[in-house]
């Protein structure tokens, strides 16, 4: 019984970061929150993780970038992804369809 309780506890500990960043599914979030309600001491672990995340974020330097530079980078990234996913035409219809999609996605 104690081993089972420890395994449950550890599995919920592993869900703290995904819970905090919002990446848990709705079902997992509800289950996690129900666990926390029945284990009030667990809230301290959550608060500790939140503080650790805040401290880490404060240590990351913030780069200032102009809106123009940001838009340029985004445009280059879209073009790069588009070129990676671009397919070779296999006939007249494919050629027309691909050009139409290129024009539409600009």
What is the pLDDT at residue 5?
A: 58
Confirm whether pTM is higher than 0.95.
no
Residue 67 to residues 32, 61, 62, 77, 106: CA-CA distances in angstroms?
Answer: 39, 19, 15, 15, 19
What is the residue extent of each domain of the chain?
A: 2-59, 67-104
Q: What is the pLDDT of residues 49-97, one digit of tens each?
A: 999 999 998 898 877 888 899 899 999 998 888 777 776 777 788 778 8
DSSP assignment of 42-68, as one string? HHHHHHHHHHHHHHHHHHSPPPP--HH
> Per-residue pLDDT for 21 more than 70?
yes
pLDDT band, residue 18 (cuts 50/70/90)? very high
Least confident of 1-15, 32-46, 53-67: 1-15
């Amino acid at each position: 019984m104690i081993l089972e309780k420890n395994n449950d506890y550890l599995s919920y500990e592993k869900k703290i970061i995904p819970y905090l960043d919002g990446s848990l599914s709705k079902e997992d979030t509800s289950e996690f929150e129900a666990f926390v309600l029945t284990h009030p001491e667990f809230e301290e672990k959550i608060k500790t993780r939140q503080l650790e995340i805040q401290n880490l974020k404060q240590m990351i330097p913030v780069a200032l970038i102009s809106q123009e530079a940001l838009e340029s980078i985004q445009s280059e990234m879209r073009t790069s992804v588009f070129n990676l996913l671009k397919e070779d035409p296999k006939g007249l219809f494919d050629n027309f369809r691909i050009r139409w999609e290129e024009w539409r996605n600009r």
